[in-house]
Homo-oligomer: A and B are copies of this chain.
Amino acid sequence: MEYTVNKLAKISGVSGRTLRYYDQIGLLKPARINSSGYRIYGQKEVDLLQQILFYRELEVSLEEIMDIMNEPTYNQTKALENHYKKLMQKRSHLDKLMATVEKTIASKKGGIPMQDKEKFAGFKDKIIEENEQKFGKEIREKYGDETVNASNAKLRGMSEEDFKSMNDLGEEIMLLLERAYKTGNPASDLAQEVAAKHKQWLMYAWPNYSKEAHAGLAEMYVSDERFTAYYDKAIKGGTEFLRDALLIFLDMK
- Chain A interface residues toward B at CB < 8 A: 1, 10-13, 43, 46-47, 50, 53-54, 57-59, 73, 76-77, 80-81, 83-84, 87-88, 90-91, 94-95, 97-98, 100-102, 104-105, 108-109, 111, 116, 119-120, 122-123, 125-126, 129-130, 133, 172, 175-176, 179, 182-183, 189-190, 193
Contacts and interface: CB of A to CB of B under 8 A. Distances in A.
Given A81-B105, A87-B94, A91-B98, A122 B57 contact: no
Contacts of A81: 105
Q: Copies per complex?
A: 2
Given A175-B54, A190-B13, A101 B87 contact: yes
19 contacts: A11-B123, A11-B126, A13-B179, A13-B182, A43-B129, A47-B116, A50-B123, A50-B175, A53-B120, A53-B179, A54-B119, A54-B175, A58-B101, A76-B108, A80-B105, A84-B98, A84-B105, A87-B98, A94-B94
A100 B53 CA distance: 13
Nearest to A111: B73
A178 B133 CA distance: 60
Contacts of A88: 98
B193 A11 contact: yes
B77 A102 contact: no
B97 A58 contact: yes
Contacts of A100: 57-58
Contacts of A126: 11-12, 46, 50
